[in-house]
């Protein structure tokens, strides 16, 4: 069984020491950072500072954008709309004055001539004002102004030719006047009305956009306040201290920014809403009413010139005055205690008197009493059509000026109440960031001692 000289070596078993050592775990650095209290405090500080700065920057940016819109509204959009309204009114006045002058048979009074010249000058000034406020990008508005300017030059040329023929006793002067009035009523005034409507619509659109609350700014600021409150609770549990002075100051600063911005935007929005509801809307309606009155006056004068033979002039007069009466009635029904209620009531009364006078005038034309009708149309008495119309126009102009003053005052208030917020929001955001650092830094030092 055994062999001599043969040695059998025992089998050796080596122990792998690597099996006795647990492999070293490799965790991401950020997990190690968050696993320690100092790391958590550091991350918390960075997040809170970023939230505070974000709240300040977002609130400042939103407010600054809103301020620029309000400034554009009060320095560009509203003046341009007013210039368009003045242009429309001046064109209508010029047409009515030109027609009135022909009732005097070449011997027009100085005041009638001056009224026409003043209206032409006002229309030219309004064209310049409107053109100055229009940017090159507004191609439609530029095109409208160019067309109105070109047509108005043709109109004044026709009126000048009509006047020259009238002074010479040529009956063709009335034909030229009719052509000029048709151009004004059929081409120039519709263009001016379109321009006026678009500009007031632009003003109303801007006002509606401004009244929207800055939801994003409020959300960011409220999130920052909520985060600061949670940080207070977290530190109170960790440090066994009830209040952290730095975070308390930061919370108060951020809450102050939230309250300040909420109040400022609420007051500003209310002011813009007042400008829209108590200014722009009734103003645009009364501007249209004044234009209707001027058109009705031109219709009346043209009907008298044609000795009642032009049925269309009477139809147009009735249509214009009916719409005018509806506008005044609607304003009186919807505006209770408004700033323009008194002049609108005066305008309504003047319109009633004018329509009564016009009825008598038409009766005289129907009876063949042309001299009596002409005297009633342009006579100097208080019961004449001229005085009745002047009272109506003065009341409407007073109402428009009052409403425009109310609108501009409200827009200025909307701009004023938020004027300091863009800079104030940035300052409060930065101060809040420093307060967060001042509150958390001492707690971090406690772990490094």
Interatomic CA distance for residues 183 and 158, integer angstroms = 10
- For residue 290, report the phi and psi dihedrals to the nearest 5 degrees: -65, -40
Select the more confidently predicted residue: 318 or 6. Answer: 318
Average pLDDT over residues 303-317: 80
Interatomic CA distance for residues 114 and 136, integer angstroms = 35
Q: How confident is the model at residue 353 (pLDDT cuts 50, 70, 90)?
A: very high
Task: Look at residue 301 in the predicted model and tell me its pLDDT.
Answer: 81
Segment 216-246, tens digit of pLDDT: 999 999 999 999 999 888 887 776 667 788 8
Q: Which residue is listed with tokens 């819109």?
A: 69
Least confident segment among 4-8, 55-59, 373-377: 4-8
- Please, what is the average pLDDT of the chain? 82
**In the numeric block, which tokens belong to residue 81?**
């709309």
- Least Cα distance to 129 among 192, 93, 82 occurs for 82
At a CB cut-off of 8 Å and minimum separation 6, what does 423 contact? 60
Task: Look at residue 244 in the predicted model and tell me its pLDDT.
Answer: 80
Q: Which residue is listed with tokens 């010479």?
A: 168
- Least Cα distance to 441 among 234, 166, 246 occurs for 246
Task: Look at residue 2 in the predicted model and tell me its pLDDT.
Answer: 44
Q: How confident is the model at residue 72 (pLDDT cuts 50, 70, 90)?
A: confident
Task: Look at residue 59 in the predicted model and tell me its pLDDT.
Answer: 94
Distances in Å between the Cα of 439 and the Cα atoms of 33, 45, 245, 332, 449 are 20, 9, 6, 61, 17
- Least Cα distance to 228 among 440, 442, 446 occurs for 440
Max distance between CA atoms of the chain, in angstroms, equals 168
Interatomic CA distance for residues 55 and 224, integer angstroms = 7
Flag whether pLDDT at 32 surpasses 70. Answer: no
**Sequence-separated contacts (24+) of 386-392 with Cβ below 8 Å:** 386/100, 388/350, 388/353, 388/354, 388/357, 389/293, 389/297, 389/350, 389/354, 391/346, 391/350, 391/353, 391/354, 392/293, 392/347, 392/350, 392/351, 392/354
Q: How confident is the model at residue 252 (pLDDT cuts 50, 70, 90)?
A: very high
- Least Cα distance to 427 among 67, 57, 61 occurs for 57
% of residues, the chain, pLDDT over 70: 86
Task: Look at residue 233 in the predicted model and tell me its pLDDT.
Answer: 86
Select the more confidently predicted residue: 142 or 352. Answer: 352
Segment 424-434, tens digit of pLDDT: 999 999 999 89
CB 59 within 8 A of CB 421: yes
Interatomic CA distance for residues 146 and 126, integer angstroms = 13
Least confident segment among 48-52, 288-292, 361-365, 378-382: 378-382
Task: Look at residue 24 in the predicted model and tell me its pLDDT.
Answer: 52
CA-based torsion, 310, 315, 320, 321: positive or negative: positive
Radius of gyration of the chain (CA): 39
Cβ neighbourhood burial of 32 (10 Å; 0-12, 13-18, 19+) = exposed
Task: Look at residue 55 in the predicted model and tell me its pLDDT.
Answer: 93
For the beta carbon of residue 424, count every other beta carbon within 10 angstroms: 20
Task: Look at residue 20 in the predicted model and tell me its pLDDT.
Answer: 47
Structure letter (DSSP) for residue 20:
G
Would you say residue 99 lies in a domain? yes
Task: Look at residue 421 in the predicted model and tell me its pLDDT.
Answer: 93
Q: What share of the chain is helix, strand, coil (3-state, %, to 5)?
A: 85, 0, 15
Domain that holds residue 88: 39-295+414-440
Flag whether pLDDT at 77 surpasses 70. Answer: yes
Segment 172-217, tens digit of pLDDT: 887 888 888 888 888 888 888 888 888 888 888 888 888 888 889 9
CA-based torsion, 183, 140, 319, 375: positive or negative: negative
Would you say residue 109 lies in a domain? yes
Select the more confidently predicted residue: 53 or 17. Answer: 53
Interatomic CA distance for residues 257 and 217, integer angstroms = 11
Would you say residue 371 lies in a domain? no
Select the more confidently predicted residue: 19 or 97. Answer: 97
Q: How confident is the model at residue 10 (pLDDT cuts 50, 70, 90)?
A: low
Would you say residue 86 lies in a domain? yes
CB 213 within 8 A of CB 265: yes
Flag whether pLDDT at 449 surpasses 60. Answer: no
Would you say residue 376 lies in a domain? no
Would you say residue 252 lies in a domain? yes
Domain count, the chain: 1
CB 262 within 8 A of CB 219: no
Average pLDDT over residues 39-54: 84
Interatomic CA distance for residues 411 and 273, integer angstroms = 9
CB 91 within 8 A of CB 127: no
Flag whether pLDDT at 61 surpasses 60. Answer: yes
Average pLDDT over residues 419-445: 86
Average pLDDT over residues 8-12: 53
pTM: 0.75
Count of CA atoms in the C-beta half-sphere (13 A) of 244? 27
Average pLDDT over residues 109-125: 82
Would you say residue 435 lies in a domain? yes
Would you say residue 247 lies in a domain? yes
Interatomic CA distance for residues 191 and 387, integer angstroms = 30
Select the more confidently predicted residue: 343 or 22. Answer: 343
């Amino acid at each position: 069984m055994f062999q001599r000289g043969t040695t059998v070596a025992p089998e050796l078993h080596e122990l792998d020491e690597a099996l006795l050592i647990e492999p070293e775990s490799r965790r991401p650095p950020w997990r190690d950072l968050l696993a320690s209290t100092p790391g958590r405090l550091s991350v918390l500080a960075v997040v809170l500072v970023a939230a505070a700065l974000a709240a300040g920057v977002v609130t400042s940016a939103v407010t600054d954008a809103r301020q620029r819109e309000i400034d554009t509204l009060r320095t560009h959009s509203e003046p341009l709309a007013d210039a368009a309204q003045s242009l429309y009114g001046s064109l209508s006045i010029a047409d009515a004055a030109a027609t009135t002058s022909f009732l005097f048979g070449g011997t027009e009074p100085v005041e009638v001539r001056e009224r026409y010249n003043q209206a032409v000058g006002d229309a030219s000034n309004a064209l310049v004002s409107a053109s100055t406020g229009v940017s090159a990008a507004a191609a439609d508005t530029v095109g409208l102004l160019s067309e109105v300017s070109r047509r108005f030059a043709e109109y004044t040329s026709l009126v000048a030719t009509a006047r020259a023929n009238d002074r010479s006793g040529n009956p063709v002067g009335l034909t030229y006047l009719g052509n000029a009035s048709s151009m004004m009523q059929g081409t120039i005034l519709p263009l001016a009305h379109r321009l006026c409507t678009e500009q007031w619509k632009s003003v109303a659109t801007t006002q509606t956009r401004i009244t929207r609350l800055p939801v994003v700014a409020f959300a960011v600021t409220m999130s920052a306040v909520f985060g600061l409150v949670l940080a207070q609770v977290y530190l109170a549990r960790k440090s066994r201290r009830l209040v952290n002075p730095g975070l308390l100051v930061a919370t108060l600063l951020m809450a102050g920014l939230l309250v300040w911005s909420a109040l400022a935007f609420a007051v500003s929005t209310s002011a813009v809403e007042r400008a829209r509801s108590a200014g722009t809307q009734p103003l645009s309606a009364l501007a249209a009413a004044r234009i209707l009155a001027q058109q009705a006056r031109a219709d009346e004068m043209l009907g008298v010139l044609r000795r009642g033979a032009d049925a269309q002039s009477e139809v147009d007069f009735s249509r214009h005055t009916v719409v005018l009466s509806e506008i005044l009635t609607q304003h009186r029904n919807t505006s209770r205690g408004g700033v323009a209620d008194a002049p609108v009531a005066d305008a309504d009364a003047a319109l009633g008197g004018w329509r009564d006078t016009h009825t008598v005038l038409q009766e005289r034309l129907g009876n063949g009493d042309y001299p009596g009708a002409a005297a009633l149309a342009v006579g100097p008495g208080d019961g004449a059509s001229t005085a009745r119309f002047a009272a109506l126009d003065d009341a409407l102009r007073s109402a428009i000026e009052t409403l425009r003053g109310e609108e501009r005052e409200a827009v200025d208030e909307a701009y004023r109440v938020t004027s300091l917020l863009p800079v104030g929001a940035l300052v409060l955001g930065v101060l809040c960031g420093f307060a967060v650092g001042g509150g958390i830094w001492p707690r971090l030092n406690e772990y490094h001692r």
